[in-house]
Structure 1
Amino acid sequence: MPEGHTLHRLANALDDAFVGSRVRVSSPQGRFAESAGLLDGAEVVGCEAYGKHLFVDFDADRVIHVHLGLIGTFDLGSGPGGLPRGEVRLRIASPHAYADLRGPTACELWTCDQVEALTGRLGPDPLRDDADPDRAWRRIGRSRAPLATLLMDQSVIAGVGNVYRAELLFRHRLDPFMEGRLLRRREWQDIWDDLCALMGEGVKTGRIDTVRPEHEPEAMGREPRVDDHGGEVYVYRRTGAPCHVCGTRVRREVHASRNLFWCPRCQRRSRRRPK
């Protein structure tokens, strides 16, 4: 599932392509046809992301809400676009650009009130100017849930996925199974600041790169990582490979139905955890 930086990159691209234009809106697949008909010819007034949710705002209090889910894609091209290929749920087109949405978990016509209701249930998004890290801390600081659970909880922090979760915990040498209430306030601020920087870089590059300069391939004399997610990482999808820092084999465990990756030496069991 795309992580938050991907949605923000997409929102920026859609914003650049369509804001201020009256667009053709259609549903070649047919599943969004009724709503598309209501929007056809309307003006796009803004595109934004919140966590893993994308919003395309039209005039007259109308918003397309998109959640890509596991397999969704929103492909942007130049020109008006030819005949759509594949199962296109939604096409937005102008004389200069088009965007085709395929396979989303959600594609819905909403009002601004519905958008506010959704975002009100989500935690702060590190990539938004209105993000309040204290709001997340109030949940984390009193929770008995493990850090590995809390960092993936969209009601705690919006936009963090499996890659950022694993890499943040490693970068801060944190035991993934330590309860949130045992985390120190200063540690949380360090995590938040790091997350903002990493995800901000992800928006710029379209990759998730989390290794520090001294652990990059050139510095270590190793081959670059080859993975369809791209980017240099410490533990994500590196099960059984030697840790870049200590050489210990990276471990994997299914945690809350998702694969959790960590280094058992760099991220030792915390002494704060009750025995």
Structure 2
Amino acid sequence: MPEGHSVHRIARQFQRNFVGSRVSLSSPQGRFALGASQLDGLEMTDARAVGKQMFLEFDHRVWLRVHLGLYGAWDFSGEIQMDATIASANGRMGQTNQRGTIVDPNVEPSLTPILDSAGENSLHSIGAPRRTRVRMSEQEKETSAPETFPPDPIGQVRVRLLTDTVCADLRGPTACEVLDPQQVDAVIAKLGPDPLLDSSHDAEDRFTAVVRKKATPIGLILMDQNVVSGIGNVYRAELLFRAKLNPYAPGKSLADDTVRALWRDWAHLLKIGVETGQMMTMDDLDGEDYVLAMANRADRHWVYKREGLPCRICGTHITLEEMGARKLYWCPRCQS
């Protein structure tokens, strides 16, 4: 499931490419035909992410809410402009043409993008794993960059958003619905704080107070979107390892300073994820180690997907268990 950093990156792409433009909406699949007709031809006025959910506002104060869930993904084509604030040290910033070539004059030509082997930091496709999406209808192969604009819809496109220069196709979301402002407020009110939207002491206090009242294991609490927004399976495992916390420790057993440190580390890792497009949780790497980590997930996580391998700190084999119907990766020694 796409985690908070991915949804914030999607929202920023909509801010840069769609906000301020009149947008044509359609539902090639047909399942969102009524909703698309309500929004078709309206100007997009805002795009925001709260944790794993995204909200697109159109004039007449109507909103499109999207929750990608496990299988949802956005695919962009056309003259994509990346948000100017997303600029990592490897030069990944700016405009791409339909072939995906970086053409932004603000980026040094000598800075070659470090692309993730699984396409995690792609500007063109953000969402579910590549192996489960963007298939030709009867062919088991990935699609290539479109030759014409807009490209023909491929697969089960729930909704297409189109301007004169950019196209965004949504496939497989858990939620895709039109809401009024009161309904949007009601959805957001149920969500826990998102440090990228609110880094205040009040947000930290809210998170800390809720965690320290719960007898629930901290490994489950961090996945509860009503407690904190945006954390998924990868960040859960990595945050707990970085804090040297046993996933089964009840929230109410944790010291106040420990819970506050978790919140601050989540804010830190979320910012890195938005800037790089990757869940980079080994954040002290330099030189060749950083290049390898940017290119390959196996080189940028402490415990996630490392079951059976020695812990990078103590050498104990990383354990894989199930918690809350999701895979849990942790080190029994470092996190004892």
TM-score, scaled relative to structure 1? 0.91
**Are the counterparts in 2 of residues 208 and 230 from structure 1 also a CA contact under 8 Å?**
no
* Residue of structure 1 in register with 2:311 after alignment: 243
* Residue of structure 2 in register with 1:19 after alignment: 19
Cα shift readout 1:205-228 (whole Å, capped 9, x = no counterpart): 110111243699739xxx956998
* Residue of structure 1 in register with 2:277 after alignment: 206
**Residue from 301, 323, 333 that aligns with 1:255:** 323
The answer as to 2:157 corresponding to 1:110 is: no
* Residue of structure 1 in register with 2:55 after alignment: 55
How does 1:63-82 map onto structure 2 within 5 Å?
A: 63-78=63-78, 81-82=150-151
Change (3 A) 1:4 1:252: same
* Residue of structure 2 in register with 1:233 after alignment: 301
* Residue of structure 1 in register with 2:235 after alignment: 164
- SS state of the match for residue 187, structure 1? helix
Q: Distance in 1 between matches of 2:179 and 2:303?
A: 39
**Are the counterparts in 2 of residues 47 and 57 from structure 1 also a CA contact under 8 Å?**
yes
Q: Distance in 1 between matches of 2:299 and 2:36?
A: 37
Q: Distance in 1 between matches of 2:172 and 2:152?
A: 18
**Residue from 237, 244, 255 that aligns with 1:184:** 255
Q: Distance in 1 between matches of 2:287 and 2:234?
A: 17
Aligned residues: 265
- SS state of the match for residue 169, structure 1? helix
- SS state of the match for residue 271, structure 2? helix
Change (3 A) 1:31 1:227: farther
- Higher mean alpha-carbon deviation, 43-52 vs 79-88, is at 79-88
Q: Distance in 2 between matches of 1:224 and 1:51?
A: 28
- Specify the code of the residue in structure 2 equivalent to 1:41: G
Q: Distance in 1 between matches of 2:288 and 2:310?
A: 14
Off by >6 Å, runs of 4+ in structure 1: 214-217, 225-228
- Specify the code of the residue in structure 2 equivalent to 1:169: L
Q: Structure 1 unaligned segments of length 5 or more: list them.
A: 269-275
- Specify the code of the residue in structure 2 equivalent to 1:163: V
The one of the two structures with greater contact order (alpha-carbon pairs below 8 A, sep at least 6) is 2
How does 1:104-183 map onto structure 2 within 5 Å?
A: 104-129=173-198, 132-183=203-254
Question: Sequence identity, in percent?
Answer: 43
**Are the counterparts in 1 of residues 6 and 274 from structure 2 also a CA contact under 8 Å?**
yes
- Specify the code of the residue in structure 2 equivalent to 1:150: I
TM-score, scaled relative to structure 2? 0.75
Cα shift readout 1:229-260 (whole Å, capped 9, x = no counterpart): 67600001110001011111000110111111
Q: Structure 2 unaligned segments of length 5 or more: list them.
A: 80-148
- SS state of the match for residue 178, structure 2? strand
Q: Distance in 2 between matches of 1:264 and 1:138?
A: 27
What is the Cα deviation at residue 43 of structure 1? 0.5
* Residue of structure 1 in register with 2:9 after alignment: 9
Q: Distance in 1 between matches of 2:296 and 2:66?
A: 23
